[in-house]
């Protein structure tokens, strides 16, 4: 299945049915009066977050979604049938943007969340509504309101607990394959990963989700390489795991390259909790490990962990550190929600 995280969609709600101009005509009943019914309301366009989807590939093959219009009113006070709604089923984590690709109309972050994107037009009144004491035989009716037509963008941001960062061939996919059942493509050339991968990892009987995104290079915010188009998938993560290749020979430059790209991208990524790991230590001797870790700790200004995705050395310690950051983030969110729900006090 192909991965698609951005698509353009055209939607249109149904127009309302027109009201009816009709009069009661039955044998032996004179002056029956108006009996025109109202038109039915048009169908609306909705978006709903559903389970079991992690890509927008369905919208590659269908980009137009039109709801049904309401039926016109009829005589004998019969109201027209309401048009059927149409529902866009999207993965959890989908942002719905206006045509300018900047204005956020809705953020589908919860399973079952439902948002109205285009409301159907109201049905027109029949001539029965216009009957008065001085106008007992009105010959007018309202037309139905037209539907709403608009263009929207769907942008998927995967919901994960941990986001993997690093240059191409930093060992991100190897780490994901070593700690989860995910099987991302692994090879000895850059840009092996072309789309994000998700994996469920577990430590101490606790599971969380890790997102592996394609590697960044210098100038990614300007569109170089694969650009920063996939950084949106780690915006919702609680913690970032920054893997630095210990065999690259340009350790400090590699670290600053990723940090500079995070600052250029924005979106609060640079302020998220971040764990820095010196990866591929299985190819280093004890002296090289200590020297490179000390140099990297000076650049980071904090603790640096050692790990090897191939030999799985240090992976458990890294997972435990990630779990601690995830628990702390959940505790902060719970406290913030409690403060918002607390009753007002003078």
Q: Is 81 annotated as a binding residue?
A: no
Q: Is 166 annotated as a binding residue?
A: yes
**Structure tokens, 185:** 């493509």
Rounded Cα distance, 195 and 2, in Å: 9
Q: Identify whether the C-beta of residue 68 lies closer than 8 Å to the C-beta of residue 83.
A: yes
Q: Is 213 annotated as a binding residue?
A: yes
Q: How far is C-alpha 141 from the geometric centre of its chain's CA atoms? A: 44
In angstroms, the Cα distances linking 298 to 99, 108, 216, 275, 321 are: 46, 41, 22, 14, 20
Q: Is 157 annotated as a binding residue?
A: no
Q: How far is C-alpha 287 from the geometric centre of its chain's CA atoms? A: 45
Q: Is 191 annotated as a binding residue?
A: yes
Q: Is 82 annotated as a binding residue?
A: no
Q: Is 247 annotated as a binding residue?
A: no
Residues in the chain: 346
Q: Is 279 annotated as a binding residue?
A: yes
- DSSP per residue over 128-185, as a string? GGG--SS-SS----PPPPPPPEEEEEEEE----SEEEE-STTSSHHHHHHHHBS----
Q: Is 52 annotated as a binding residue?
A: no
Q: Is 272 annotated as a binding residue?
A: no
Return all residues near 195 (Cβ < 8 A) that are at least 6 apart.
3, 5, 214, 230
Q: Is 14 annotated as a binding residue?
A: no
Q: Is 316 annotated as a binding residue?
A: no
Q: Is 109 annotated as a binding residue?
A: no
Q: Is 308 annotated as a binding residue?
A: yes
Q: Is 179 annotated as a binding residue?
A: no
Q: Is 169 annotated as a binding residue?
A: yes
In angstroms, the Cα distances linking 281 to 67, 101, 117, 181, 313 are: 58, 43, 51, 23, 8
Q: Is 168 annotated as a binding residue?
A: yes
Q: Burial-class residue 50 by CB neighbours within 10 Å (0-12, 13-18, 19+).
A: middle
Q: Is 104 annotated as a binding residue?
A: no
Which residues are known binding-site members for Mg(2+)?
173, 193
Annotated binding-site positions: 166-173, 191-195, 212-215, 279-282, 308-310
Annotated binding site for GTP: 166-173, 191-195, 212-215, 279-282, 308-310
């Amino acid at each position: 299945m192909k991965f698609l995280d951005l698509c353009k969609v055209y939607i249109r709600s149904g127009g309302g049915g027109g009201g009816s101009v009709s009069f009661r005509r039955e044998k032996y009943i004179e002056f029956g009066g108006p009996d025109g019914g109202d038109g039915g309301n048009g169908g609306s366009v909705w978006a709903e977050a559903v389970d079991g989807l992690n890509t927008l590939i369905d919208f590659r093959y269908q980009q137009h979604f039109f709801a049904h219009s309401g039926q016109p009113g009829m005589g004998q006070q019969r109201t027209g049938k309401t048009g059927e709604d149409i529902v866009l089923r999207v993965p959890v984590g989908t942002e719905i943007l206006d045509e300018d690709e900047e204005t956020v109309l809705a953020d589908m972050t919860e399973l079952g969340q439902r948002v109205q994107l285009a409301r159907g037009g109201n049905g027109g009144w029949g001539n029965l509504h216009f009957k008065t004491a001085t106008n007992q035989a009105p010959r007018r009716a309202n037309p139905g309101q037209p539907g709403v037509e608009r263009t929207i963008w769907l942008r998927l941001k995967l919901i994960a607990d941990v986001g993997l960062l690093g240059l191409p061939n930093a060992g991100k996919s190897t780490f994901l394959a070593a700690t989860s059942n995910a099987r991302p493509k692994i090879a000895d050339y850059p840009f092996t990963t072309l789309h994000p991968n998700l994996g469920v990892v577990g430590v101490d009987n606790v599971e969380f989700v890790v997102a592996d995104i394609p590697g960044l290079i210098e100038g990614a915010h300007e569109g170089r390489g694969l650009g920063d188009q996939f950084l949106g998938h780690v915006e919702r993560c609680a913690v970032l795991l920054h893997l630095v290749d210990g065999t690259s020979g340009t350790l400090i430059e590699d670290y600053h390259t990723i940090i500079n790209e995070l600052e250029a991208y924005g979106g609060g990524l640079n302020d998220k909790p971040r764990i820095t790991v010196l990866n591929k230590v299985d190819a280093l001797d004890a002296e090289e490990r200590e020297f490179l870790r000390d140099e990297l700790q000076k650049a980071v200004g904090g603790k640096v962990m050692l790990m090897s995705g191939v030999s799985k050395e240090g992976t458990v310690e890294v997972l435990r550190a990630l779990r601690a950051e995830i628990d702390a983030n959940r505790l902060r969110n719970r406290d913030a929600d409690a403060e918002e729900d607390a009753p007002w006090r003078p």
